[in-house]
Structure 1
């Protein structure tokens, strides 16, 4: 098979792009090449349904594993319910459903790419796949062009002896200890006796001890009165939270003349780290292009990523304030203040569509960080 579009990497952005092209451009052939044996890796992606445009919901809906009406956040002195549907996709379902939506020849797993150019890819077995155009979707392979803090987490799917009594997610429980940076526990009730608990914290370095985080998770379960019978899944990662950087330098890393999507193009929210809304928008963009030949495709993807980078400068400033203006034990105060604002404003920030008034409202009033440090960060600017 010589596909029209060859996508290197089999993660979320790659899969959604392949589905969008297949559904919206009949006759265009796509191939995904993934070094692992499954598509999507080992992940749970979550998002607010309002993050997705109504016309693009059909791209996401088949993959959704769980959907809840409403969610909650909790901070010292503040507990609040958020309206709107919240959804999660488990990578196991992503892999299974994607294989039913694409022809078998469109998926090649267990294949390592050793070289890449705008006309195809060389594989470790010595074979080459030719294509009309190539898309890089293997994630951020070089972060040297970015200024980052880190969102580090470990998640465990717990099997409980008795029902947990939850009917909606707790997307941030920041009532836990805050001594080592902004920390919260994230809770997704998958069934009456199955709950996914993730311990997350924001610090300046990517290193973390997964065993320590698992111990925190089990301790959190005990404080909730849950008797844990076993652990059904484990995942852990350190994700960049971008505070600045050089887009041009980032785009030039890797093979030249190739379009990038997903994390490879820094298409994730600079504050929350959420990547699914951007993956959906990029997939819809690709499927709607006039031409999918190599040069116009690469040009369109570059312009798309650069536009998102430019318009999200404000969000990088918020992340910079979090890491540079607030002392680690007090970082939670910035988030607590944000979640006390109007629900519509909160929703627009999550979807990276904050208005000018939203941006002013978030920064105005008594700052939850030392004003001298906040002024220093703001006056220093952000790239």
Structure 2
């Protein structure tokens, strides 16, 4: 005689404890503490091993309130960008949140019964999810936020990066983030170093590439970070590492993707729903927006929540079309070693325009200003890039 399958009942089951899933759980808790929510994460920590950054202007009051429980680093003095042709300091207030602080904040705020880590989801349907080992979670509403599914329904390139948390042997003297240092060798991609001064001795240094393929060579990128740190005089011991391979979407068919990955009656959020900035891969403002939307509609049954979030994803897709167009020109019109020139020109534009760009709220005037003037790429190549298709966003095995 075998034992009965363990079962848990909840109002809402959230699959995936990354940024999107974790913020949905937090928004629901803050809106209605009596709501029975289960948050399932395959890893041992919520948020994985990541760092999310954003500008103060990206969030409204409600969004700032949602993030208030988390310990964050912020720089009221602004940030700098460095290019071979020019450098610039902007006074936009910049914020950053580590996954360790994200995990700690959620564990403080959520009910102990909410969080299930080290639990892999093996099956999902409109009534719940089955976990490895056989446990069944049954819920009125199921939200799948487990991450991007590579698909040939989309085309584009890849943002590949390696980050290192470094404790320097002496104060580094950096007083603000270097959001983009593109003075480095490009190595067949748009490459830049991204550096955050986390304390007087601690730095987060990330080597980032906008490249045509999703390959990430850890040893090569680590050696390049070594050389960069040595060149600017930062010596010390690595404390932690992170790597990532993110899609840079330049076109495709969202409706086809939704048909292919949809589980009837199951809502999708975050990168799984393609809710992100297609060019910069910024996710935090979008994750906040989605979490607040779910919390406002928390009483919906599963099928209606699924329809609501699919419609939300379509609206995000429509409003971010301009950034996919720019991505087409980045990957299709510029030679890889010259792609940095597009961002070099962009960072000569007015600061409010730059802030609206990262928040995916560019005005008609902003778009005209970005596209007019001396082009950083040949006109003929730009036209061909816009009219021709790109590479499918299907990640190779082992990448």
Range into which the TM-score falls when normalised by the shorter chain: over 0.9
Pairs within 5 Å for 1:1-383: 1-69=8-76, 70-228=78-236, 230-252=237-259, 253-289=261-297, 291-380=299-388
- Tell me the secondary structure at the aligned position of residue 198 of structure 2: strand
Shift of 1:62: 2.1
My pick for the range that moved more, 371-380 or 171-180, is: 371-380
Instruction: List per-residue Cα deviations over 1:123-177 (Å, max 9, x = no partner).
Output: 1111211000100100012323211200100011111111110111000000111
Q: 2:83 & 2:306 partners in 1: Cα distance?
A: 44
Matched-pair contact (CA < 8 Å) for 2:28–2:298: no
Instruction: List per-residue Cα deviations over 1:182-219 (Å, max 9, x = no partner).
Output: 00000000111111100001111000211111111111
Matched-pair contact (CA < 8 Å) for 2:156–2:247: yes
Q: 1:207 & 1:379 partners in 2: Cα distance?
A: 27
Instruction: List per-residue Cα deviations over 1:245-271 (Å, max 9, x = no partner).
Output: 110122121522211111101111111
Instruction: List per-residue Cα deviations over 1:66-123 (Å, max 9, x = no partner).
Output: 1111011111121111122111111111111101100011011111111100110011
Q: 2:32 & 2:359 partners in 1: Cα distance?
A: 27
Q: 2:173 & 2:56 partners in 1: Cα distance?
A: 24
Matched-pair contact (CA < 8 Å) for 2:160–2:214: yes
Instruction: Give unpaired runs (5+ residues) of structure 1.
Output: none
Instruction: List per-residue Cα deviations over 1:213-258 (Å, max 9, x = no partner).
Output: 1111111111111222x10000011111001111012212152221
Matched-pair contact (CA < 8 Å) for 1:64–1:87: no
Shift of 1:179: 3.4
My pick for the range that moved more, 285-294 or 113-122, is: 285-294
Q: 1:142 to 1:181 in 2, by over 3 A?
A: closer
Q: 1:9 & 1:210 partners in 2: Cα distance?
A: 26
Matched-pair contact (CA < 8 Å) for 2:69–2:109: no
- Tell me the secondary structure at the aligned position of residue 163 of structure 1: coil
Q: 1:2 & 1:325 partners in 2: Cα distance?
A: 53
- Tell me the secondary structure at the aligned position of residue 131 of structure 1: strand
- Ranges of 4+ aligned residues in structure 1 off by more than 6 Å: none
Q: 2:373 & 2:262 partners in 1: Cα distance?
A: 44
- Tell me the secondary structure at the aligned position of residue 145 of structure 1: strand
- Tell me the secondary structure at the aligned position of residue 151 of structure 2: coil
Length, aligned pairs only: 382
- Tell me the secondary structure at the aligned position of residue 159 of structure 1: strand
User: What TM-score comes out, normalization by structure 2 length?
Assistant: 0.93
Q: 1:179 to 1:381 in 2, by over 3 A?
A: closer
Q: 1:343 & 1:287 partners in 2: Cα distance?
A: 33
Q: 2:71 & 2:370 partners in 1: Cα distance?
A: 31
Query: Over the residues paired in the alignment, what is the CA RMSD in angstroms?
Result: 1.5
Instruction: Give unpaired runs (5+ residues) of structure 2.
Output: 1-7, 393-399
Shift of 1:379: 4.4
Q: 2:183 & 2:154 partners in 1: Cα distance?
A: 31
